[in-house]
């Protein structure tokens, strides 16, 4: 069964601190892995997309990693800002179908 | 990046009425669009895949007669919630696939409240 699991479910950090979100997946066939940011009451916005051969990709303060052997990905946020407060969703594409994780809700406090 | 719009952003309707939500791809053509539903603190749930010029493909458990989907052009798909009930209240999100880059872009969502 195709599954995407994220941890932690929620996270609270202080402004300026770094954090890392985790994503484990069992998806076949694997096409790519995406990280999305979803603000409350808004649609998801793509942060990174990685294919099988890529093991790291950055987008500003966001850096995603992918280990295709262990089927794990992480999203590292550097120097967090209040505007980083959102849900971060890991999505794995399986032959054109998107398998969604349940997301990690990040709260950045001043 | 590519933009997908939804209209309206929020709508309140009475039980028994129908509501139409529009999803548009603004700067690319989308043969395929997707409709999702999201409950509070839950992940997106795929409702149906909308194919331009043909019937939509519905996920198991989604009533096609209740959630009517029309994809009449390469830039517009509509979702009509018929005979809405309070339990239909939810956040509905569409996405459109850019076939050229095989990327999927999400709309901003529509908050439906049925009273």
- B44 and A100 within 8 Å at the Cβ level: the answer is yes
Distance from CA of A27 to the nearest CA of B (A): 17
Summary mean pLDDT of chain A: 94
Residue B50 has pLDDT above 80, yes or no: yes
- A44 and B1 within 8 Å at the Cβ level: the answer is no
Residues 43-102 of A with CB under 8 A from B: 43-46, 49, 89, 98, 100-102
CA distances from B37 to A56, B40, B47, B51, B97 (A): 31, 10, 7, 18, 17
Confidence of residue B2 (pLDDT cuts 50, 70, 90): low
> How far is residue A41 CA from its own chain's centroid?
18
Facing A103 at nearest CB: one of B43, B104, B111? B43
Q: Tens digits of per-residue pLDDT, B76-85?
A: 999 999 999 9
Residue A28 has pLDDT above 90, yes or no: no
- B41 and A101 within 8 Å at the Cβ level: the answer is no
Burial label, B13 (beta-carbon count in 10 A; 0-12, 13-18, 19+): middle
- Which of A4, A31, A43 to mutate to test binding with chain B, by most B CBs within 10 Å of its CB? A43
**C-alpha–C-alpha distance, residues B23 and B105, integer Å:** 11
Summary mean pLDDT of chain B: 92
- B93 and A44 within 8 Å at the Cβ level: the answer is yes
Confidence of residue B48 (pLDDT cuts 50, 70, 90): very high
Residue B101 has pLDDT above 80, yes or no: no
- The confidence score (pLDDT) of residue B114 equals 97
Residue A19 has pLDDT above 90, yes or no: yes
Distance from CA of A87 to the nearest CA of B (A): 9
Strands (E) located in B41-109: 45-51, 57-58, 67-73, 76-81, 90-98, 103-106
Of A67-71, A100-104, B50-54, least confident by mean pLDDT is B50-54
Among candidate residues B114, B109, B95, B115, the one with its CA nearest the CA of residue B38: B109
Query: Which residues in B lie closer than 8 A to residue A42 (C-beta atoms)?
Result: 108-109
Residue A52 has pLDDT above 80, yes or no: yes
Which of the two residues, A31 and B11, has the higher pLDDT score? B11
Confidence of residue B1 (pLDDT cuts 50, 70, 90): low
- The confidence score (pLDDT) of residue A38 equals 94
A42 vs B: CB within 8 A = yes
CA distances from A35 to A39, A99, B18, B26, B112 (A): 13, 12, 34, 23, 26
Compute the average pLDDT of residues B54-73: 93
Compute the average pLDDT of residues B99-104: 76
Compute the average pLDDT of residues B87-111: 90
Among candidate residues A91, A57, A19, A83, the one with its CA nearest the CA of residue B95: A91
- The confidence score (pLDDT) of residue A78 equals 98
The count of other CB atoms within 10 Å of the CB of residue B101 is 11
Compute the average pLDDT of residues B66-74: 92
Confidence of residue A100 (pLDDT cuts 50, 70, 90): very high
- The confidence score (pLDDT) of residue B40 equals 85
- A41 and B6 within 8 Å at the Cβ level: the answer is no
């Amino acid at each position: 069964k195709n599954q995407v699991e994220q941890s932690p479910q929620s996270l609270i950090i202080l402004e300026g601190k770094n954090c890392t979100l985790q994503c484990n997946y069992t998806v076949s066939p694997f096409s790519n892995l995406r990280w999305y940011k979803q603000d409350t009451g808004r649609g998801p916005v793509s942060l990174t997309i990685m294919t099988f051969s890529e093991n790291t990709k950055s987008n500003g303060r966001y850096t995603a990693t992918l280990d295709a052997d262990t089927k794990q990905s992480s999203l590292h946020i550097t120097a967090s800002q209040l505007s980083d407060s959102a849900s971060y969703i890991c999505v794995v594409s399986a032959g054109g179908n998107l398998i969604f994780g349940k997301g990690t809700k990040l709260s950045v406090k001043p | 990046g590519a933009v997908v719009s939804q209209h309206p952003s929020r709508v309140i309707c009475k039980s028994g009425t129908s509501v139409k939500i529009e999803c548009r791809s603004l700067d690319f053509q989308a043969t395929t669009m997707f409709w999702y539903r999201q409950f509070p603190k839950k992940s997106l749930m795929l409702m149906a895949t909308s194919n331009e010029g043909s019937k939509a493909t519905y996920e198991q458990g989604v009533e096609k007669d209740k959630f009517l989907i029309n994809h009449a052009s390469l830039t517009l798909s509509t979702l009509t919630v018929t005979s809405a009930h309070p339990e239909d209240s939810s956040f509905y999100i569409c996405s459109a696939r850019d076939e050229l880059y095989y990327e999927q872009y999400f709309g901003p969502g529509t908050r439906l409240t049925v009273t």
